[in-house]
């Protein structure tokens, strides 16, 4: 009963989530018995590939010559081919844009029950039962897989990276998939160069309507720079066009789970909390002491975000200088 884990890379380096995924897959394999094979698609160098061994993968399948952009059918076929080659019964992927696009197709292709957005190790191995969030984080459900195989997509930042200190053999893998037959035509790509991905960030600095105007984002960006954090915003802010909609965190925006989330001038509507409540630590600054954000927060200041922000930047710099 081996486990296949689909890893993702960015500019030739594995994303942090790939190490989470391999750590998770390794723990799952420990429960069901068997080994972990990692699958990598794209331009990743040998030494980077073999790094996955330290997190519990015993072998790495490397598919060179990845298609330009994501074609859901081609990727589904590549991953299905790797499942067949390894005889794996469990596939682990990330619950992100890519995982959401491909995992459902693989569930059908492999006749493998899909548990999307799992947050913990399985409760039991046979039958496979896993915990996931439902009702946008208001509850959890135990999903029982009824099929022989399973596809698990792991909610981000829900599993600690664990180094096992092992090593992995790297093998070049030809899935025998007609990449040229991809039906998706990429017409244009716009990338934000050099910007930390919101979904990958350990610390996120977010602003809401209490920031009063798009002109006031300077200190949020400065704090983000000091803490190597990503910036985010609430829905009214992206609706107003103060910030791009990619920054909108909340039920209908991005769902994130950083280690530390700062909410400046965000009242904390239930839809916003649905997108951020999995953060390990939430700090809220709001003028309204009754704002619902304080029910979700771990630390709070009743005050004007525009006044607190500069002081916070000064204090953090001072604390760091010590």
Map the footprint of another protein across residues 184-213, applying CB under 8 A: 184-192, 195, 197, 199-200, 203
Contact between 100 and 111 under an 8 Å Cβ cutoff? The reply is: no
Min dist CB 167 to another protein, Å, is 28
Sites for another protein among residues 17-46 (CB under 8 A): none
CB of 211 to another protein, least distance (A): 16
Q: Segment 221-250, which members bind another protein (CB under 8 A)?
A: 227, 239, 245-246, 248
- Residue closer to another protein by CB (options 76, 206) is 76
How many angstroms separate the CA atoms of 93 and 165, rounded?
22
128, β-bridge pairs: none
Query: How many CB atoms neighbour CB 18 within 10 A?
Result: 24
62 vs 77 by CB, closer to another protein: 77
Nearest-approach distance from CB 166 to another protein, in angstroms: 28
Q: Which stretch binds another protein (CB under 8 A): 18-26, 29-37, 84-92, 301-309?
A: 301-309
Distance, in Å, from the CA atom of 237 to the CA atom of 249, rounded to the nearest integer, reads: 10
Distance from chain centroid for Cα 229 = 15
Q: How far is the CB of 142 from another protein (least distance, A)?
A: 4
Give CA–CA dist 2/83, Å, rounded.
10
Joined together, the tokens standing for residue 292 give 């619902």
d(CA 77, CA 105): 9
For the bound state, the minimum distance from the C-beta of residue 134 to another protein, rounded and expressed in Å, comes to: 5
- The three-point CA angle 150-56-281 to 5° equals 80
Six token digits for residue 173: 């893998």
- Within 61-120, which residues bind another protein (CB under 8 A)? 69-73, 76, 95-98, 100-105, 107-109, 111-117
Q: Which of 251, 255, 262 is CA-nearest to residue 97?
A: 255
Q: Which residue lies nearer to another protein by CB, 125 or 302?
A: 302
Q: How big is the site for another protein, counted in residues (CB under 8 A)?
A: 97
Angle between helices 72-86 and 97-110 (to 10 degrees): 60
Least separation in angstroms between CB 156 and another protein: 12
- To another protein, the closest distance from the beta carbon of 61 in angstroms equals 22
Least Cα distance to 22 among 5, 40, 35 occurs for 5
Which window, 30-38, 44-52, 173-181, 309-317, contacts another protein (CB under 8 A)? 309-317
Closest CA to 155 of 75, 86, 258: 258
CB neighbour list of residue 285: distance below 8 Å, 6 or more residues apart: 262, 263, 264, 265, 300, 301, 303, 305, 308, 309
| CA 218/CA 259 separation, integer angstroms | 23
Question: The tokens 């060179």 sit on which residue?
Answer: 64
Residues 144-183 that bind another protein (CB under 8 A): 144-147, 153, 183
Answer yes or no whether residue 288 interacts with another protein by CB under 8 A: no
Span near another protein by CB under 8 A; candidates 23-31, 35-43, 207-215, 307-315: 307-315
CB of 33 to another protein, least distance (A): 22
Q: Report the residue number, 15 or 89, with the smaller CB distance to another protein.
A: 15
Q: Which stretch binds another protein (CB under 8 A): 41-49, 167-175, 208-216, 296-304?
A: 296-304
* Shortest reach from residue 149's CB to another protein, in Å: 9
* Beta carbons of 67 and 35 less than 8 angstroms apart: no
The whole-angstrom distance between residue 136's C-alpha and the CA centroid of its chain comes to 16
Q: Is 139 in the site for another protein (CB under 8 A)?
A: yes
* x/- letters, 245..284, toward another protein (CB under 8 A): xx-x--xxx-----xx---------xx--x-----xx-xx
């Amino acid at each position: 009963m081996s486990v296949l884990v689909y890893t993702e890379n960015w500019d030739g380096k594995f994303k942090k989530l790939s190490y989470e995924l391999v750590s998770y897959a390794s723990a799952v394999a420990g429960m069901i018995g068997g080994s972990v094979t990692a699958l990598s698609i794209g331009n990743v160098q040998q030494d980077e590939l073999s790094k996955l061994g330290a997190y519990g993968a015993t072998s790495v399948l490397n598919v060179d010559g990845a298609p330009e952009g994501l074609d859901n059918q081609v990727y589904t076929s590549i991953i299905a081919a790797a499942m067949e080659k390894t005889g794996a019964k469990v596939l682990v992927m990330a619950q992100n844009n890519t995982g959401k696009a491909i995992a459902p197709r693989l569930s059908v292709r492999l006749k493998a029950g899909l548990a999307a957005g799992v947050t913990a190790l399985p409760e039991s191995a046979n039958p496979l039962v896993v915990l996931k969030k439902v009702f946008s984080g208001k509850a959890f459900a135990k999903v029982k897989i009824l099929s022989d195989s399973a596809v698990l997509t792991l909610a981000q930042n829900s599993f600690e990276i664990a180094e096992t200190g092992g090593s992995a053999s790297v093998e070049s893998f030809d899935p025998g998939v007609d990449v040229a037959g991809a039906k998706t035509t990429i017409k244009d790509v716009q990338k934000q160069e050099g910007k930390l991905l919101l979904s990958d960030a350990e610390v996120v600095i977010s602003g809401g309507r209490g920031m009063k105007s798009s002109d006031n984002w300077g200190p949020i960006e400065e704090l983000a720079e000091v803490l190597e954090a990503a910036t985010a915003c609430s829905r009214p802010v992206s609706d107003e066009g103060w910030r791009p909609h990619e920054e909108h965190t909340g039920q209908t925006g991005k769902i994130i789970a950083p280690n530390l989330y700062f909410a400046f001038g965000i009242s904390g509507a239930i839809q916003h909390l649905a997108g951020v409540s999995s953060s390990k630590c939430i700090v809220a600054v709001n003028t309204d002491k009754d704002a619902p954000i304080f029910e979700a927060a771990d630390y709070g200041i009743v005050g004007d975000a525009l006044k607190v922000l500069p002081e916070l930047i000064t204090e953090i710099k001072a604390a760091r200088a010590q």
